[in-house]
Structure 1
């Protein structure tokens, strides 16, 4: 066998503890089985929230594992499952770690439990590399007939169905015509995927891909329907099941109506979400009859064109974008139940009056540059005690008329830009619990509520690098995010009340009671050493070519998040290590023993090349139990670490919400009298590839 193949191991092929047993193997005494009633054991199992803890419990004893499997299999109404194992989330974003587990599941003894956890999810896909199908055998005519005649257990499952098909401009028929959805489906997402080249050549036909109404026949339990890159005609909309409560219409939204009549949406609709305006927008908006939806609670409308002025009075949440028109006068006045309003305003020539919206609790305003010529009262806030949250998102301009009198005394959360404002003349309400300030030049003492205040969470984005005075930050603050500050960090400036700190830059001292630290240090660019270092022994750790500025991490810290720069480059391969975080007063442990959660962000500009991460340092020289490595908008590795042996010789690394991972058996270095384990490197070679591990600094190409 090729030596490199022996060294290279997929993280998903690591050695598993075999708990598959025969009756002759379970004669050993087990306290849990012998002394505790089965009903109590099952109750304990069902109350375990973390899947990793369930695995560890079942690994404690073969007899326990065997007994639990028997107890669950003996009762058809009870199925042993892991919790929160979802192929996709509520927004239909794919869980890439679940996809990796589907392709190759490591913990074979728990494969049946894993499959049970996905039994209510169906994925129909013809893009198997990135989105493998799941339980798609349930969507065939033969399976449907079998379920009816046998009345099997599948009839008691509420299915969630995701359909993602590649668009073929030369197709003879719609791919959806051959799919039969189980009648007990509760929610469904349909989307077409197309490569960029084909999309440019056939964009018009692509967006006319119509979902056949026959797909929804018999779906009398369907409550959620989401259409992504696909269309459904106005005539078909009227034939959708009336059971639908949540409807998401994507790129094309609706096709043109055949006879121009008003579209009838499902009568019981509670949530309606439009993503973009269709080509026939003005005709369509006016013909939707939104004001007739008596149960509608939430509505999302992009690019409002002013074609109607009446909305359902039942709305409690509205997300609306006035991109090219002005909000009509009294547009919101009739929405007496509205509690949440997201509004995008680009043009405004009158006062936005919200004083009649007495139920409003949260207002989130995005303003464009066209509104800047308004007078100081361009928005009037509700006067009721229910109004709690105000968010104004602007790149560089504050709310007009921002003053002590402008803000309600009931406000608990505030986010706004304070650029060019004289903050020395303003006092924020004492009721505030959370404050975010953008484009802030300085924070004068007294601007933030102090004596008797309840301010707990504070985020400040400074324009300068000083900006704070002694006492600027109240001692009530426990969660602080501070950006672009390089001034003093003594308790007079950063009080010891801080328990969670997000910091960018160098820091001399940390608050004594700190529990969570998110730290990003602005590294200067530098030239990596030559690739000659790749000839060094794989049993030796790579040299640390530079260290972080000296910092004493307090023993109170339990969570640490930081951006980590590569320490070494071997040819075109980057090496990451936490060794430069080693504390000055500790010769072995890299991090304080109190830290159990570690999140590491990798710089975006370094993720376009293959890289490796020293995993053994986390396992052997920290007490970290939860590790997350992320960057460039995705999570590269996420695992709970359970050291199964006191000497760390056997370690379980597995994602709690995907079961991706396995058990690593560590091997000691071939050195006489050495108690050190060989280095373990976690490798990434391609963006969507599963990680692999080896004892080498970089992947060896065969």
Structure 2
């Protein structure tokens, strides 16, 4: 075989022979089989079903080119890879299986010779297990429990035919009987009703058993009366999320309901109609199982003064009101209550009129633990709070509120002006305080001494923390838009987490270990000020999104950094970028034992990039893989919000395995093989992870010499 000739040997060997080979070598499987067939092969090996057919579309080594076209060559390189113990990676593959099925349909973008019946097509993700049509799940170690159906646009004419699934009249009869969660996104009315009609039908053994389906999510503006009736027939359903549907009738088994309105088709919701199946009579909803209700983004049509409007079983309620709530509205069963109050305004003159004062009476809710009040009104002058309340969040436009907070309150979120209304009467047991708006410094002595967690968001003032205003036992401090010094006079020595977001901090001392000896987590985002150079040995988490050069202590185990990218080539359709995660970072030893070993303890690297959508980029791996002990690599691209999550396993001193957790694409790196060195075996070749922008995007690993362009190999 010529070195540049692709090998299709695996395609020729019958599947049963392949299975026998795997069976004979038992727990030692040729790595190339695992990496190139990934989930499908591994899944069938575990299930030990030789009668199931395995198909291999092709095998090869991919070489990167600037135009993004990949070609197959040099298969001999792959054949040199050694074997490894399959069981060592069992948990990795088990986690990646995810037990999820994704069905997608498309009506217009298929070529005429590939158009399927009923103008449907579907793409099952290449990481998904096939469905058992015989409904026999006794031997299925990984039953599919989550099914998603959504539109799919096929922009690539070369989409492999084997990825298309024919969806005929009985299209959804193949949804597995083990399905517990069904998600329907962006379907038109006739498609939506067809799916739900198939689900509720009892005429086909392959349909979802009502006792199995627990959760339904519908994100569609095409929800109508017929759809509502179909949902009502899903007896056994426990959790429902709906994107706007004023005509819904929920089954009596429903335990959780979330309705999110579409502002383009905003109509009020009729609660009596919504809960018609929860009532044993027309006036008393006594047969309800509903414990969670979120209707905070949609108006209520009903008169809220009528009795028994809400089910008496509710524990969590999110609600939007346009008039002050009466005492009878909220059931005694509530544990968590979130009220958004916005009075109706019919004209400008009415908006300028002074509101009639009113009170909010909630002290009868003895079991209430968490309360959130969002009032765009100045009319409330009194709130009667339950004594057992532990969490309170409120935003109110008022200056005459005269209340005493419950003594057992442990978490409070409110603006500084409202906080000052309570004076020095803040609860002594308060542990967590969030101030979303502070237009003045916090007075010394206002905050209780036992406070452990503090978030402050400043607006328009400098030097906005007074010396001695922060409690000395504080462990978590999050500052937003802070401008001023960071020193021992302001920051408590007890601090374990310091987060500075869009701040301009002036560190008086380059050595943080002198006044923050217990610091474990440091996050500095959006700052142009220089960073310290010496850190305490306790620091484990560092989020430093800087493009300038800075120091990272060797004690850090979790690092978040931004890309330093170099644009390599421009093409008519796309560009290519080269990224080096450690180009602007120096690792410094911060161990107290003065150990000269500067090897980093880094385990998790989160890398933020900003590559325009549709472009290719390559990430240099030399430092990351060969000289660091990083176990997980996470990449986030700001431009299109795409994410890549890799597991990095070091098998021994010779091999490193990189596997994408979402797709199981990956590669094995033999760090002692001559291919990874130059011809003189003295200089290490650059190691790159390439990200190809195309509909079925994937990644490849390639090694090239240091003096070559990583996208042209020239």
Q: Fold-level match, TM-score > 0.5? A: yes
- Which structure would you say has the larger RCO, counting Cα contacts within 8 Å and 6 or more residues apart? 1
Is the Cα contact below 8 Å between 1:575 and 1:697 reproduced in 2? no
Q: 1:475 to 1:556 in 2, by over 3 A?
A: farther
**Structure 1 partner of 2:215:** 224
Is the Cα contact below 8 Å between 1:518 and 1:560 reproduced in 2? no
Task: Give me the whole-angstrom Cα distance separating, in 1, the residues matched to 2:367 and 2:602.
Answer: 44
**Structure 2 partner of 1:497:** 494
Task: Give me the whole-angstrom Cα distance separating, in 1, the residues matched to 2:659 and 2:679.
Answer: 30
Task: Give me the whole-angstrom Cα distance separating, in 2, the residues matched to 1:445 and 1:119.
Answer: 52
Q: TM-score, normalised by structure 1?
A: 0.65
Is the Cα contact below 8 Å between 1:614 and 1:679 reproduced in 2? yes
Q: 1:466 to 1:690 in 2, by over 3 A?
A: farther
Task: Give me the whole-angstrom Cα distance separating, in 2, the residues matched to 1:362 and 1:27.
Answer: 53
Q: State the Cα distance separating 1:192 from its structure 2 match.
A: 4.6
**Structure 2 partner of 1:513:** 518
- The 5 A counterparts of 1:449-528 are 449-450=448-449, 453=450, 455-463=451-459, 464-504=461-501, 505=504, 507=507, 508-510=510-512, 511-522=516-527
Q: State the Cα distance separating 1:298 from its structure 2 match.
A: 0.7
Q: State the Cα distance separating 1:156 from its structure 2 match.
A: 11
Cα deviation 1:427-452 (Å, max 9, x = unaligned): 643322222222223233322222xx
- The 5 A counterparts of 1:524-535 are none
**Structure 2 partner of 1:321:** 320
Residue 305 of structure 1: which of 300, 304, 312 is its match?
300
Q: State the Cα distance separating 1:315 from its structure 2 match.
A: 0.2
Residue 600 of structure 1: which of 600, 607, 624 is its match?
607
Is the Cα contact below 8 Å between 2:104 and 2:122 reproduced in 1? no
Is the Cα contact below 8 Å between 1:216 and 1:240 reproduced in 2? yes
Name the SS for the 2:469 alignment partner: coil
The alignment status of 1:163 with 2:146, answered yes or no, reads no
Task: Give me the whole-angstrom Cα distance separating, in 2, the residues matched to 1:435 and 1:458.
Answer: 5
Task: Give me the whole-angstrom Cα distance separating, in 1, the residues matched to 2:180 and 2:465.
Answer: 51
Q: State the Cα distance separating 1:382 from its structure 2 match.
A: 1.9
Name the SS for the 1:617 alignment partner: helix
Q: 1:273 to 1:336 in 2, by over 3 A?
A: same
Name the SS for the 1:286 alignment partner: helix
Unaligned runs of 5+ in 1: 7-17, 29-54, 60-67, 77-105, 168-173, 195-202, 256-262, 525-545
Q: How many matched pairs?
A: 554
Is the Cα contact below 8 Å between 2:269 and 2:299 reproduced in 1? no
Task: Give me the whole-angstrom Cα distance separating, in 2, the residues matched to 1:560 and 1:116.
Answer: 24
Q: State the Cα distance separating 1:119 from its structure 2 match.
A: 8.6
Cα deviation 1:225-251 (Å, max 9, x = unaligned): 222225363673476142222223334
Residue 215 of structure 1: which of 183, 199, 202 is its match?
199
Is the Cα contact below 8 Å between 2:589 and 2:597 reproduced in 1? no
Task: Give me the whole-angstrom Cα distance separating, in 1, the residues matched to 2:473 and 2:272.
Answer: 51
Q: State the Cα distance separating 1:312 from its structure 2 match.
A: 0.4
The alignment status of 1:380 with 2:387, answered yes or no, reads no
Residue 344 of structure 1: which of 317, 340, 345 is its match?
340
Is the Cα contact below 8 Å between 1:560 and 1:599 reproduced in 2? yes
Cα deviation 1:175-220 (Å, max 9, x = unaligned): 77532156734424242537xxxxxxxx9x7898665534312323
Q: State the Cα distance separating 1:317 from its structure 2 match.
A: 0.7
Q: 1:118 to 1:241 in 2, by over 3 A?
A: same
Is the Cα contact below 8 Å between 1:124 and 1:162 reproduced in 2? yes
Is the Cα contact below 8 Å between 1:462 and 1:485 reproduced in 2? yes
**Structure 2 partner of 1:193:** 186
**Structure 2 partner of 1:626:** 632
Q: State the Cα distance separating 1:488 from its structure 2 match.
A: 2.3
**Structure 1 partner of 2:622:** 616
The alignment status of 1:365 with 2:367, answered yes or no, reads no
Task: Give me the whole-angstrom Cα distance separating, in 2, the residues matched to 1:122 and 1:296.
Answer: 29
Q: 1:112 to 1:515 in 2, by over 3 A?
A: closer
Q: TM-score, normalised by structure 2?
A: 0.64
Q: State the Cα distance separating 1:316 from its structure 2 match.
A: 0.3
**Structure 2 partner of 1:582:** 586
Name the SS for the 2:288 alignment partner: coil
**Structure 1 partner of 2:409:** 411
Q: State the Cα distance separating 1:3 from its structure 2 match.
A: 12
Task: Give me the whole-angstrom Cα distance separating, in 2, the residues matched to 1:436 and 1:75.
Answer: 57
Task: Give me the whole-angstrom Cα distance separating, in 1, the residues matched to 2:527 and 2:143.
Answer: 52
CA RMSD of aligned residues (A): 5.1
**Structure 1 partner of 2:548:** 548
| Structure 1 range deviating more: 335-344 or 125-134 | 125-134
The alignment status of 1:432 with 2:430, answered yes or no, reads yes
**Structure 1 partner of 2:441:** 442
**Structure 1 partner of 2:102:** 123
Cα deviation 1:81-129 (Å, max 9, x = unaligned): xxxxxxxxxxxxxxxxxxxxxxxxx999689984897495443323689
Unaligned runs of 5+ in 2: 7-17, 35-41, 51-80, 107-120, 154-166, 203-208, 280-284, 345-354, 530-545, 570-574, 591-595
Q: 1:509 to 1:25 in 2, by over 3 A?
A: same
Cα deviation 1:453-479 (Å, max 9, x = unaligned): 1x3332222223421233333232223
Q: 1:130 to 1:342 in 2, by over 3 A?
A: farther
Task: Give me the whole-angstrom Cα distance separating, in 2, the residues matched to 1:460 and 1:669.
Answer: 53
Q: 1:401 to 1:189 in 2, by over 3 A?
A: farther
Cα deviation 1:494-549 (Å, max 9, x = unaligned): 3342223322455444333322222324359xxxxxxxxxxxxxxxxxxxxx9636
Cα deviation 1:645-687 (Å, max 9, x = unaligned): 43xx522223557645342334544275736442435445469
